[in-house]
Structure 1
Amino acid sequence: MNSGPETLPPGRASAERILTILSCFERGDEALSLAEITRRTELVKSTVLRLSVALLDSGFLVRDIHGDYRLGPEIARLNLIYTEAMRMEHYIIPVLQSLVEHTGETASIYIRHGSYRLCQYRVNSPHQLGVHKQPGDVRPMDEASSAIILRNFGDNGEHKVAIKLPLFTEGASDPYAASMSIPVFQGGGAMLGALVLAGPCNRLNAERAEQYSDLMLSSALSLSRQLGGEAAFLRALQAPA
Structure 2
Amino acid sequence: MDDVPPASVPGRASAERLLSILSCFQRGDDSLSLSEIARRTGLIKSTALRIAHPLVETSFLVRDNHGDYRLGPEIARLNLIYHESMRIENYVLPVLQSLVDATGETASIYIRHGSYRLCQYRVNSPHQLGVHKQPGETRAMDEASSAIVLRSFSDHGEHQSLIALPVYTQGASDPFAASMAIPVFQNEGIMLGALVLAGPCNRLTPGQAELYSDQMRSAALNLSRQLGGEAAFLRALQPPRQF
TM-score bucket of the superposed structures, by smaller chain: 0.7 to 0.9
What amino acid does structure 2 have at the position aligned with 1:198?
A
2:193 partner SS = strand
What amino acid does structure 1 have at the position aligned with 2:204?
L
What amino acid does structure 1 have at the position aligned with 2:213?
S
Residue 145 of structure 1 corresponds to 145
Pair 1:123 & 2:133 matched: no
What amino acid does structure 2 have at the position aligned with 1:174?
D
After TM superposition, the structure 1 = structure 2 runs for residues 1-241 of structure 1, keeping only pairs within 5 Å, are 12-26=12-26, 28-34=27-33, 35-62=35-62, 68-85=68-85, 87-154=87-154, 158-241=158-241
Change (3 A) 1:153 1:53: same
1:110 partner SS = strand
| Separation of aligned partners in 1, 2:64 and 2:139 | 44
What amino acid does structure 2 have at the position aligned with 1:95?
V
Structure 2 unaligned runs (5+)? none
Contact 2:168/2:180 (8 A) holds in 1: yes
Change (3 A) 1:148 1:66: farther
Q: Could you tell me how far 1:99 is from its partner in structure 2?
A: 1.9
Please give the TM-score of this superposition, normalised by the length of structure 1: 0.77
1:139 partner SS = strand
Please give the TM-score of this superposition, normalised by the length of structure 2: 0.77
Q: Could you tell me how far 1:118 is from its partner in structure 2?
A: 2.8
Q: Could you tell me how far 1:146 is from its partner in structure 2?
A: 1.2
What percent of counterpart residues are identical? 72
Q: Could you tell me how far 1:24 is from its partner in structure 2?
A: 0.5
Contact 1:156/1:235 (8 A) holds in 2: no
| Separation of aligned partners in 2, 1:106 and 1:171 | 16
Contact 1:166/1:182 (8 A) holds in 2: yes
Structure 1 unaligned runs (5+)? none
What amino acid does structure 2 have at the position aligned with 1:126?
P
| Separation of aligned partners in 2, 1:196 and 1:60 | 41
| Separation of aligned partners in 1, 2:30 and 2:218 | 38
What amino acid does structure 2 have at the position aligned with 1:31?
D
Contact 2:32/2:70 (8 A) holds in 1: no
| Separation of aligned partners in 2, 1:155 and 1:52 | 36
| Separation of aligned partners in 1, 2:82 and 2:53 | 25
2:59 partner SS = coil
2:80 partner SS = helix
Change (3 A) 1:208 1:13: closer
| Separation of aligned partners in 2, 1:105 and 1:80 | 37
Contact 1:155/1:232 (8 A) holds in 2: no
2:147 partner SS = helix
1:193 partner SS = strand
Q: Could you tell me how far 1:170 is from its partner in structure 2?
A: 2.4
CA RMSD of aligned residues (A): 3.3
| Separation of aligned partners in 2, 1:161 and 1:123 | 29
